[in-house]
Amino acid sequence: MDYLDLPALTRAAGTVRLPGSKSISNRMLLLAALAQGETEIRDLLDSDDTRVMLDALRKLGVGVAAIADAPRDRVAAMGGNAYRITGCGGAFPGKEGDLFMGNAGTAIRPLTAALALSGGHYRLSGVARMHERPIGDLVDGLRQIGADVRYAGKEGFPPLDIHPASVRLAAPIRVRGDVSSQFLTALLMALPLAGETAVIEMTTELISKPYIEITLNLMAHFCVTVEREGWQRFTIRGGQRYVSPGIVHVEGDASGASYFLAAGAIGGGPVRVEGVGRGSIQGDVKFADALAVMGARIEMGENWIEASSPEDGKLKSFDLDLNHIPDAAMTLAIAALFADGPCRLRNIASWRVKETDRITAMTTELRKLGASVEEGADYLVVAPPVASSAVSPVPTFSAGAAIDTYDDHRMAMCFSLAALGGVPVRINDPKCVAKTFPDYFERFGRIAAPVIAIDGPSASGKGTVAQRVAETLGFHFLDSGALYRLTALAAIRAGVALDDEAGVAGVAATLPAEFPGERILLAGADVTEAIRAEDIGVGASKVAALPAVRTALLERQRAYRRLPGLVADGRDMGSVVFPEAPAKVFLTASAEARAERRHKQLIGKGMPANMRPLLQDILQELRERDARDAARSVAPLKQGEDAELVDTTPLGIDEAVAAVLDIVRRRLPQ
């Protein structure tokens, strides 16, 4: 089986832009399909579950067109997509269809209801697990109004066969709300198709209420209002129909945000998520409140949330009713591993009918990490693993646990956080995150992968040492100087003056550079040697002094932070680009030693004596470059307070590498 080995981690900090919300994406797609007019949906989540919905809508005759060059509302959003949906202004035009729903509950439930009112023949099926997930309460509700929905397999479960029928809305529809709130969502979204006034009455307590709020909110956006009496009775007045609001925007995924916020609360932080905040319509933003109960420091803006560890570094135990945030609650079961005592998660029965039986799955996997877990019908008590002999309890996670994920994206994402307990963790079948968050692990790496920042002046041997350290550790390597050199070379080639700040920043922002193996390509041409020329080094130092150029290269450098870790070589790696790096080194040597090394290097390269600069000229040049790099207003070259000095003047390469590895061993978990 496929697996991903996460290294032992301790720190998490940084910023993550969230992919679009699954709940909002699939609701908006269906509403846009049923509405009158064209809707442009921006930042739609690109994942298995939304693809299932898009495919189904196409099969049902809805106009679905990807918009290639739509403006992005979230600038650097990865995987965000825009679609133009041409609504049918009522029931689906396709009167026949065999639709595969994968394991997407947010697709099959609402579609079942909408198709039952569409007057056609349809079959809805899914993966094996989908055929174990209940749908009986919804089918019962639909049958009450005369819909003809039949079970093609086991009674109460998909696959379903839907036949044309005429519906009557005389009496209220009575439906249970204690298994899944999606049954109510499905009825609410479909009933305006009937044209008459419809009333829904709950026969039990409604769970996961915030998801109903999302539904009502989005329906209102598409011009249909629902009158609600508490959470008991819902009335949709007749004569209302969905009308496209034009352009709509999908918020970031609040459930997906929970992993990063928890990482910030566990691993120091701050970790900021962008795409959800105070203005969100998703109930899962309340996850931040639960983290606050644990003592985490939370800050929130309109469109962002930030989490950091408690002041004293210790997360507190909790006893919480989590019915309102069933998905994000899973993340709390993992956060519980880091708490100062047993944590109780109450009122989570719906976990049992999700992608897998999440209560049992969570119990089994948490135990692999050494936690003691009590599993109830609708609750969990998680006691963190602690060393019994320790004077003050310290988490002692069982190392090397192989976590099974049960084809459940949230299991995979949750358990990545366990690596922050300072132990390596294996995640089996990591690709199941594609259901809602295809690039989850890359983004997790962006906040949690350890960075070793190696800064220092030119010709200190830094590049060679950094590369050797990266090889030894199996880490990725960033030669940030190469980006400044490439910028200088590209600017010169494009005829942009090196003191034209805006011009050079433009070049830097769109640098067509690639790094295949050991080579460096600029617009497809090999420039590995060309960027090492002395004049390009001088040019690099000039463009590096321009603030706009440094800003333009910032995100590009941060994107190198990946699991299992990064060695970053430059001038401001520890101070500006990766200030949260757990290991920072200032690698230097006397100017004389560096000049001598550069001189020997040129001889080694076979440069003839008559073309070679004199040793004293190299020394002079180095001193000028040092002075320029140190005197500039932004990110000047200097040893940071938190960086450890390695003076390589008396050291050979092997000794310098050993000195850096020694620092790494002290600073990073093994």
Binding site for ligand DC (CB under 6 A): 458, 480-481, 484-485, 537, 540-541, 544, 570-572, 625, 629
* Residue closer to ligand DC, measured from CB, 13 or 536: 536
Our CB check for ligand DC shows the closer of 445 and 537 to be 537
Residue placing its CB nearer to ligand DC in the complex, 402 or 497: 497
658 Cβ contact partners less than 8 Å away, ≥ 6 residues apart: none
Nearer to ligand DC by C-beta: 374 or 555? Answer: 555
Nearer to ligand DC, 428 or 458 (CB): 458
- How open is the CA angle 383-387-392, to the nearest 5 degrees? 95
Distance CA 4, CA 426 (A): 6
**Contact indicator for 65, 426 with CB cutoff of 8 Å:** no
Task: Give the residue among 182, 144, 139 at the shortest CA–CA distance from 162.
Answer: 139
User: Least CB distance from residue 427 to ligand DC, whole Å?
Assistant: 33
Nearer to ligand DC, 190 or 635 (CB): 635
Contact between 264 and 13 (Cβ < 8 Å): yes
How far apart (Å, rounded) are the C-alpha atoms in residues 357 and 515? 44
Run of H or E residues at 441: helix 440-448
* Spatial separation of the C-alpha atoms in residues 125 and 115, rounded to whole Å: 13
In the complex, least distance from residue 670 CB atom to ligand DC, rounded to whole angstroms:
28
Alpha helices in 35-104, H assignment, sequence order: 48-59
Output the smallest distance, CB 531 to ligand DC, in A.
8
Strand partners, 569: 454, 479
Distance CA 487, CA 505 (A): 9
Q: Which two tokens stand for residue 18?
A: 């969230």
Please, is 666 exposed, middle or buried when counting C-beta atoms within 10 Å of its C-beta (0-12, 13-18, 19+)?
exposed
Dihedral through CA 19, CA 249, CA 285, CA 380, nearest 10? -60
Pick between residue 141 and residue 537 the one whose CB is nearest to ligand DC: 537
Q: Which of 60, 86, 37 is nearest to 222 (CA)?
A: 37
Residue-wise over 126-146: b if at least 16 C-beta within 10 A, else e? bbeebbebebebbbbbbebbe
What are the structure tokens assigned to 454, written together? 């190696």
Name the residue nearer to ligand DC (CB basis): 272 or 550: 550
Beta bridge partners of 647: 588
CB of 515 to ligand DC, least distance (A): 14
The strand pairing partners of 439, in sequence order, are none
Minimum distance of ligand DC from residue 403's CB (angstroms): 37
Nearer to ligand DC, 118 or 557 (CB): 557
**Contact assessment for residue 469 and residue 660, using Cβ atoms and an 8 Å cutoff:** yes
Task: Report whether 158 contacts 108 (CB < 8 A).
Answer: yes
Measured CA distances, 232 to 174, 188, 200, 303, 341 (Å): 10, 13, 8, 32, 38
Contacts of 624 (CB under 8 A, 6+ apart): none
> Residue 3 belongs to what H/E stretch?
strand 3-6
Give me the sheet containing 233-236, strands edge to edge: 173-175, 198-202, 233-236, 227-229
Q: Quote the least distance from Cβ 88 to ligand DC, whole Å.
A: 55
> Which is closer to ligand DC, CB of 143 or CB of 623?
623
d(CA 344, CA 322): 10
Tell the smallest beta-carbon distance from residue 319 to ligand DC (Å): 48
Please compute Rg for the chain using Cα positions.
29
Nearest approach, Cβ of residue 269 and ligand DC (Å): 25
CB count in 10 Å sphere of residue 224: 22
Catalytic pick from 327, 340, 479, 569? 327
Please, which residue, 358 or 485, has the CB nearer to ligand DC?
A: 485
Query: Nearest approach, Cβ of 621 to ligand DC (angstroms)?
Result: 11
Kindly give, in sequence order, each residue whose CB lies less than 8 Å from that of residue 97, ignoring residues fewer than 6 positions away. Answer: 56, 59, 60, 115, 120, 121, 122, 123
Closest listed residue to residue 144, CA positions, set 181, 109, 187, 182 = 187
Residue with smaller CB distance to ligand DC, 26 or 541: 541
Annotated active-site residue 327? The verdict is: yes
Shortest Cβ distance from residue 629 to ligand DC (Å)? Answer: 5
Helix (H) or strand (E) holding 592: helix 591-604
Joined tokens for residue 571: 């001038």
Q: Give me the active site residues, please.
A: 327
